[in-house]
Amino acid sequence: MYEHILVPLDGSKNSQQALEEACKLAKQFDSTLNLVTVINNTNFYYGAGAAGMPPSMYDDQHKIAENIINEAKKYADSQGIKYETSIDIGNPKNIIAHVYPDEHDVDLIVIGKSGVDAINRLLIGSTTAFVVRNATTKVLVVNTKD
């Protein structure tokens, strides 16, 4: 039923719980998880004009993204789940809702209710809300356990 399940990860408690739920589904359907984190470069374009992200800031963000992916890999390994990983750069909303699912034949997106980016959520709306409204595939939103 679900061959490829996309799990967007941002290091938040919600994304960890989404990963846990996706692992349960992957076991049930013998699915492959697509563990993805997106380095949001849109903030840097707005704040720095057209200059984009300074190289040192990109390096820092990439290290954080690698840590997020590595933790997710450890969890998926501990559950015996097949997975693929990706660190993308761009607008997380667009990549999660459209780009990644379309390029990787994703059948389901399992996403946390909210993530770590509270400022953007207040200013321009949450990534989760955007994905629910605009995704090209089914979406499962996972609430926190608390």
Q: Mean pLDDT score of the chain, rounded to an integer? A: 86
Q: How far apart are CA 30 and CA 142, in angstroms?
A: 20
Query: How many CB atoms are located within 10 Å of the residue 40 CB?
Result: 20
Residue 105 has pLDDT above 70, yes or no: yes
Q: How far apart are CA 48 and CA 52, in angstroms?
A: 6
Residue 50 has pLDDT above 90, yes or no: no
pLDDT at 46: 46
Mean pLDDT of 35-46: 78
- Residue 82 belongs to domain with CATH number: 3.40.50.620
Compute CA distances 98 → 29, 79, 134, whole Å: 23, 28, 8
Range of the domain at 88: 4-142
Compute CA distances 111 → 34, 54, 75, 119, 124, whole Å: 12, 29, 16, 19, 18
**pLDDT tens-digit profile of 112-132?**
986 555 544 444 458 899 999
Task: Enumerate helices (H) and strands (E) in the chain, giving the number of each.
Answer: 7, 5
Q: How many domains does the chain have?
A: 1
